[in-house]
A and B are shown apart, each in its own frame.
Chain A
Amino acid sequence: MYKESDIRLPLILGDKSYKDITDDIIRPIEAKPPKTWYILLMISIVIALWGIGCIVYLLGTGVGSWGLNKTVGWAWDITNFVWWVGIGHAGTLISAVLLLFRQKWRFAINRAAEAMTIFAVFMAGLFPLIHMGRLWLGYWVFPLPNQFGSLWVNFNSPLLWDVFAISTYLSVSLVFWYIGLIPDFATIRDRVTKPIYKKVYRVLSFGWTGDAKAWNRFEQVSLVLAGLATPLVFSVHSIVSFDFATSVIPGWHTTIFPPYFVSGAVFSGFAMVQTLMLILRKAYKLEAYLHVKHVEYMNIVIIVTGSIVGVAYITELFVSWYSGVEYESYAFLNRATGPYWWSYWAMMTCNVISPQLFWFKKLRTSLMFSFFMSIIINIGMWFERFVIIVTSLHRDYVPSSWTYFHPTWVDIGVYMGTIGIFFVFYLLFSRYFPVLPIAELKTILKSSGKNYKEGYGKGKGYWDKHSAH
């Protein structure tokens, strides 16, 4: 039996039993959702519809309705793409990397973070597709036999690597998420009384039985999928960074990009997890399962990755000067002092300076402050991508083609729309799916439950009886 040190704070607070865990997590599914849920869903649907309208308008009119021009060929579209992919990195990172490191606090956040990953990657995938202009020909990115003398896609191109990376990441994350969900759907199936719910969850649970061999396989599959997903997470954002790093644009053409993008992705992903989980925790009364300790662990990840990002920014600056390449030096000088200085300094403040406040224990254990910071980081990371993309492009080699990028209402509408679509998915998920992994939380109850650790209530005398293990 795994025994956790007494000094470690318990991960599950209160006097919980196995039954309580099931009840606490399934209750929101069985109960009528609160009014705020309907209000939030309505707002999200309105924003999503507006976004879909903008996309339809964009497809009908052409990419020219975006604010792009001859010099700035990539702007909000690719900024949003990278932003969403970055957010989509936390879920699989939490469930895969933290599984390999046996971090048991992941159970408080992994399910919802994986859901976030999947929805975020959906949103990310939308941008390159609509950017291609002809959405209905989107499948041309795949190497399919065709009537053009079998002209194939270019396997040397990082853009094609991205197609493979993102689609592999999306489908593997989906499988990983669903395999974890099956036993929990079975718990819901065996519990709900409404006939329609019973039928639906019966289908969703795939007839899960929970016999010893099935659990044995479950653990093996989770472990191997985690082992496969870990390099996958790193590869996906490295490849996203190759989209820029393999080009010849000053400001993009840097070898530091892959690690810098990966840590930036983890940084922004954790921030988004914080934003969503702190709301979910309050709304669903999950305070016993997700409390200050979990938030503190997440904030520590945020300090580490935020500092890596900070070091990367400063290294980039240093190298642009040290390289002696005029174009490179100018690109960075222009970022900080040119017409887009405000976005550069917004990025620096949000991503480099503000996460350092988490060194104060008082701040990193404050839920309100963490929530506030998570929003700041989400904004900062959007600006990071904007700075990288737009400020590197807007002053071309020839000063006569220098321009300034202004987003149009379509740019803004599509971006807002994806946030709306994301929240529609997320709200539906939080209503009908178990937001915490029920089965996995039960495995840590006896080692990390407060009542078992301190020997009162339902866990009374547990360690006395089982000290022989």
Chain B
Amino acid sequence: MADKVIFAMYDDDDKLMDGAKHLVANDVKVSDVYSPMPLHGIDSIIGIEPTRLAITAFMYGITGVMLGIIGIRYMMIVDWPMNIGGKPNFSLKENMLSFVPIFFEFTVLCAAHGMAITYLIRNKTLPGMPPRNPDPRTTDDKFVMEIKTSENTHIKESVLSKLIKDTGFLEIEEKSIL
């Protein structure tokens, strides 16, 4: 059997949410949802794992603060210790307070940019990437649910189409994946 993808389109986010709940309750695996705006609560319905981006931000932040400390220590304490206004740079510890602002800024810089770059790469959104939404209207006012037959082999095709019909979609499209 050729693998098929079914795209069911809805004109309302609540219809799609209720539909997804109905399908999931009947053991159908909904592989994805395309929407023009974030749908709160859809991730738990269709079983999408929470993102770990915040953890990466923390890791980039830690990297930033470490790089900041290493860099400033090298430049100000080791490589060329200066005596500025009678306050010589003898040790990192004693000069730490005046370095805090830049440690902080550098931490934020690394955390924000690191996370943003990770986000773009993980989403496969980079300049020049082709759009992959099934219908151009999903960025306007339509909501599309994606169901793959290969993920729902435990349900008969007729039962599956009956279940999808029950959700009250607006349009449906089937595509074969070769």
Residues of A within 8 A of B (CB): 2, 17-19, 22, 143, 149-158, 160-161, 164-165, 168, 171-172, 175-176, 179, 182-183, 186-187, 189-191, 202-203, 205-221, 223-225, 228-229, 231-232, 235, 239, 242, 438-440, 442-443, 446, 465-466
Q: How far is the CA of A164 from the CA of B98 in the complex (A)?
A: 13
The answer to whether A209 and B112 touch across the interface, beta carbons within 8 angstroms, is: no
Within 8 A of A (CB), among B33-90: 33-40, 42-43, 46, 48, 50-51, 53-54, 57, 71-72, 75-76, 79-80, 82, 84, 87, 89
The answer to whether A165 and B101 touch across the interface, beta carbons within 8 angstroms, is: yes
> Which residue, A190, A219, A232, has most C-beta atoms of chain B within 10 A?
A190
The answer to whether residues A164 and B101 also contact, given A202-B131, A209-B132, A220-B53 and a CB cut-off of 8 A, is: yes
Is B125 engaged at the interface, CB distance under 8 Å to the other chain? yes
The answer to whether B125 and A182 touch across the interface, beta carbons within 8 angstroms, is: yes
Is B3 engaged at the interface, CB distance under 8 Å to the other chain? no
Q: How far is the CA of A22 from the CA of B13 in the complex (A)?
A: 16
Contact with A154, one of B84, B108, B123, B140 (Cβ below 8 angstroms): B84
Q: Which residues on the A side are within 8 Å of B122 (C-beta)?
A: 217
Which residue from chain B places its CB closest to the CB of A222 in the assembled complex? B38
Q: Which residues on the B side are within 8 Å of A235 (C-beta)?
A: 101, 104-105
Q: How far is the CA of A210 from the CA of B134 in the complex (A)?
A: 10
Q: How far is the CA of A158 from the CA of B101 in the complex (A)?
A: 9
The answer to whether B102 and A210 touch across the interface, beta carbons within 8 angstroms, is: no
Q: Which residues on the B side are within 8 Å of A171 (C-beta)?
A: 109, 112-113
Q: How far is the CA of A443 from the CA of B53 in the complex (A)?
A: 22
Q: Which residues on the A side are within 8 Å of B43 (C-beta)?
A: 212-213, 216
The answer to whether residues A217 and B123 also contact, given A164-B101, A172-B108 and a CB cut-off of 8 A, is: yes
The answer to whether B80 and A207 touch across the interface, beta carbons within 8 angstroms, is: no
Contact with A211, one of B33, B54, B71, B136 (Cβ below 8 angstroms): B33
Which residue from chain B places its CB closest to the CB of A186 in the assembled complex? B139
Q: How far is the CA of A203 from the CA of B40 in the complex (A)?
A: 28
Is B116 engaged at the interface, CB distance under 8 Å to the other chain? yes
Which residue from chain B places its CB closest to the CB of A441 in the assembled complex? B37
Q: In the assembled complex, how far is the CB of residue B64 from the closest CB belonging to chain A, in whole angstroms? A: 10
The answer to whether B48 and A216 touch across the interface, beta carbons within 8 angstroms, is: yes
The answer to whether B38 and A161 touch across the interface, beta carbons within 8 angstroms, is: no
Q: Which residues on the A side are within 8 Å of B14 (C-beta)?
A: 446, 465-466
The answer to whether A219 and B38 touch across the interface, beta carbons within 8 angstroms, is: yes
Is B138 engaged at the interface, CB distance under 8 Å to the other chain? yes
The answer to whether B42 and A212 touch across the interface, beta carbons within 8 angstroms, is: yes
Contact with B139, one of A168, A190, A218 (Cβ below 8 angstroms): A190
Chain B 104-132 near chain A by CB (<8 Å), digits 1 or 0: 11101101110110011011111111111
